Chain A
Amino acid sequence: MDIMPRWVDIIIVPLLSLFLAAFLSALLIIAIGESPIAALNLMIEGTLLRSAGWGYMLYYTTNFIFTGLAVSVAFHAALFNIGGEGQAMIGGLGVALVCLLIPWPHWTLAIVGASIGAALFGMIWAGLPAYLQAKRGSHIVITTIMFNFIAAGVLNFFLVDVLKPKGSMDPASANFPSTTHLPTFQDLASLFGFEKAFRSAPANVSFFIALLACVAVWYLIWRSPLGYEIRALGKSGPAARYAGVRPVKIIMIAMMISGALCGMMAINTTQGESERLILNFTEGAGFIGIAVALMGRSHPLGVLLAALLFGFLYQGGAELALWTKIPRELIVVIQALVILFTGALSLMVRAPLERFFMSIQKAKE
């Protein structure tokens, strides 16, 4: 029963939700005593009109693509992976171990090794809650939340008691060897003679891996038999079972892919940016993945666009905090409103639209 044309569902509903979130945020900015128009100008100036701004934006975007895709894959199997944060932390541990323990001759090899390490560690960390859901019926939302906290403990333990170099006070691992350094956008631009572009911005080649991941997830979900089974299980458990889909297997696979994607976020943050393992490197990106997946309607293209939007918001928010008295946390509010309108209150956004299109249909008849 499609009441609305498909394009309304895909384009208008998310945009309307975004507009509502932006409108409420604008009211908040007015309440603080700043001008929303000036704030938006500042955000655009600091993000889109400077190459370094793009460099920061795409750095954030890379994280959000990974976590957004991860939440999307789980959503397709009707699973809510709220544990992206923990999976990314453990993925970071994987990256650090791979980069520190193996003497890589060149970054092209190191990035392959680090990706495998990150994905494997993230996969294991998502696999346990998946197993508990599939075989023991423990609610995946609760277990993944618990695993976030346990992951924070594990990361803390490794940084303080294992990986911290002797004599260092910082809870951080040693610096990775220089052969694992991923070329940043600045390095790439210098190759083509633009030395001044993307100066000191953290965006690096892992952005392209994120784009590849988008394509891979699209292929997986819409073009592969496995993706078909994942979607079938997500749409209707009993129907999928009747068609011969094994729920235990699909829950495990979907969650492990999800965990692997979250873990791979750490290539960008840990190998690409900090070049050592630090505490709190995830900076809530695992949770932003939820907003990105909801906004992007769990489609890789939507996730890419939503991740760009959130990348813009994060870099723009940093600019606002620098130049105005609007704190960075405003972005968290916007993020909350986006999740609220695209996720929990979606009926509120959709119902008036549905009524509008019903009346058009009636008028036609």
Chain B
Amino acid sequence: MIDFLTLLQVLDSSLRLATPLLLVCLAGLFSERAGIFDIGLEGKLLAAAFVSAAFAAITGSVWLGLLAGILASIMLSLLHGLASITLRGDQIISGVAINFLAAGLTVVVAQDLFGQGGRTPPLKSGGRFEPINFPGATSSKEINDAGPLMQLYSELFSGHSLLVYVALLTVPLSWFILYKTRYGLRLRAVGENPAAVDTAGISVVGLRYSAVIIGGVLCGIAGAYIATSLQANFTKDMSAGRGFIALAALIFAKWRPWYALSACLLFGFFFAVDTRFQNILLPAWSLSGFLILIALGLISYVWKKDYLDKVVLGGLALGISTIAIMIVFSVWNIGANSQIKIPVVFIQSLPYVLTVVVLAGFVGKAIPPRAGGQPYVKER
């Protein structure tokens, strides 16, 4: 069994890994709640990470870096707004273009500025966000001897960078803005029924631009966090799909701020487990039993459905039971208490699999804002 301190350490790193996801997820929340799909979150995150690291490296000030990162992210948001709000272009295509633009430009500019193969030089102190130690927290050397409450306080609550606390505060703030202010009501309305908002004499274009700009600010903070706090420099493609995971978390959270927090913490926990433990062992028999249960559930669901359901979900059930049988087969000789190693990639893929399950609506259906993805055209 793992001890309490190890658990705390895993939770601590979950929190740190969840922070960029949370900020980007909330960025997507504002944008999508206003009816603008944002596939370009990844690109904004990456651009902000590079610009903030580059500014922090050149000026030596992390605050200038943060500011520059936010500005860079807002620029891309405005591009997305220009394409999808003003010019009524395809929001998905615009997002895809922004991702590529960021992936290409960051490396081209980094190579030109620093000549280190698309990286920025390591940031010195002052160019990074340092961990904030709460008063009375024990240092990491003495933590083994401290009591459990002290360990909880020192390991989990204290010792994060400022941006982690900012991200956590953004959740109640977003909730307040979206559900308790007039602006938030209008923002949610414009994502559900822009024509009604327009009839009330409120600018649809203005509201949607404001939403993508808020998204830009949040992505900017997230980018600065990964380049100046989680790591201490920018490396090529360092966002590593976090923008898409945040998108997954957004769906998982059904476009709600508090759910977003729990979804991001859950996904952050997967990553923390994945980096901390090289071998994850699960009891083989219970695992295959669980898989067989899922397969049986699928089969009983499709029993009275039509042909296509039977083929697809039945095939899926067949695949799952094959895996279960293979697990049993591989431990047949070892006995009832045998454990099986879970491949690391499985834990890494779990957020995406869970998101697909939620999207499919088998477990708690996720319904996106109704006007999402459609440009608004005034009736004439």
Contacts and interface: CB of A to CB of B under 8 A. Distances in A.
B368 A347 contact: no
A344 B90 contact: yes
Contacts of B62: none
Given A252-B308, A329-B104, A146 B355 contact: yes
Contacts of B115: 325
Interface string A320-361: 000001110111111111011001111110000000000000
B312 A128 contact: yes
A153 B348 contact: yes
B349 A153 contact: yes
A60 B279 CA distance: 39
Interface in B68-90: 79, 82-84, 87-90
A345 B103 contact: no
A82 interface: yes
B205 interface: no
B356 interface: yes
A305 B361 CA distance: 41
Contacts of A31: 112
Interface string A245-256: 000100010000
B94 A343 contact: yes
Contacts of B90: 343-344
Interface in A133-186: 134-139, 141-143, 145-147, 149-150, 152-154, 156-157, 160-161
Contacts of B349: 149-150, 152-154
Interface in B94-138: 94, 96-101, 103-105, 107-108, 111-112, 115, 118
Contacts of A347: 87-89
Contact of A139 (B82, B309, B312, B359): B359
Interface stretch (B145-153, B175-183, B185-193, B241-249): B241-249
Most-contacted residue by chain A among B108, B352, B355 (CB, 10 A) = B108
A58 to B, nearest CB: 23
B364 interface: no
B93 A344 contact: yes
Contact of A336 (B39, B97, B355, B359): B97
B100 A343 contact: no
B277 interface: no
Contact of A135 (B96, B108, B309): B309
A131 B39 contact: no
Contacts of A154: 345, 349
B172 interface: no
Please classify the interface of chain B as helix (H, G, I), strand (E, B), loop, or mixed, using the class held by over half of its residues: helix
Nearest to A156: B345
A32 interface: yes
Most-contacted residue by chain B among A143, A333, A334, A346 (CB, 10 A) = A333
A138 B359 contact: yes
A127 interface: yes
A333 B101 contact: yes
A336 B107 contact: no
Interface in A214-264: 248, 252
B353 interface: yes
A161 B89 contact: no
B89 A32 contact: no
A149 B42 CA distance: 14
A131 B93 contact: no
A339 B96 contact: yes
A80 interface: yes
Given A157-B345, A348-B87, A127 B244 contact: no
A150 B352 CA distance: 7
A40 interface: no
Contact of B94 (A82, A156, A334, A344): A344
A146 B366 CA distance: 15
B368 to A, nearest CB: 7
Contact of A333 (B108, B118, B343): B108
Contacts, number: 158
A138 B360 contact: yes
Contact of B89 (A80, A326, A344): A344
Contact of B108 (A32, A290, A343): A32
A212 interface: no
A325 B87 CA distance: 36
Interface string B275-297: 00000000000000000000000
Nearest to A162: B343
A287 B100 contact: yes
A335 B97 CA distance: 8
B329 interface: no
A339 B95 CA distance: 10
Contacts of A33: 112
B100 A332 contact: yes
B92 interface: yes
B328 interface: no
A343 B97 contact: yes
B28 to A, nearest CB: 11
A294 interface: yes
Contact of B87 (A136, A146, A327, A345): A345
Given A32-B112, A136-B360, A290-B96, A336 B345 contact: no
Given A138-B360, A343-B94, A335 B83 contact: no
B308 A146 contact: no
B144 to A, nearest CB: 35
Contacts of A160: 343, 345
A132 B94 CA distance: 24
14 contacts: A28-B108, A139-B359, A142-B247, A145-B247, A150-B349, A160-B343, A287-B96, A290-B93, A325-B112, A329-B103, A329-B118, A332-B100, A340-B97, A343-B94
Given A28-B105, A336-B100, A344-B83, 12 more contacts: A32-B108, A138-B361, A146-B352, A149-B349, A157-B346, A160-B345, A329-B105, A330-B104, A335-B100, A335-B104, A336-B98, A340-B101
Interface of A: 28, 31-33, 80, 82, 127-128, 131-132, 134-139, 141-143, 145-147, 149-150, 152-154, 156-157, 160-161, 248, 252, 287, 290, 294, 325-327, 329-337, 339-340, 343-348
Closest 7 CB pairs of A and B: A332-B104, A336-B100, A344-B94, A153-B349, A343-B93, A333-B104, A344-B83
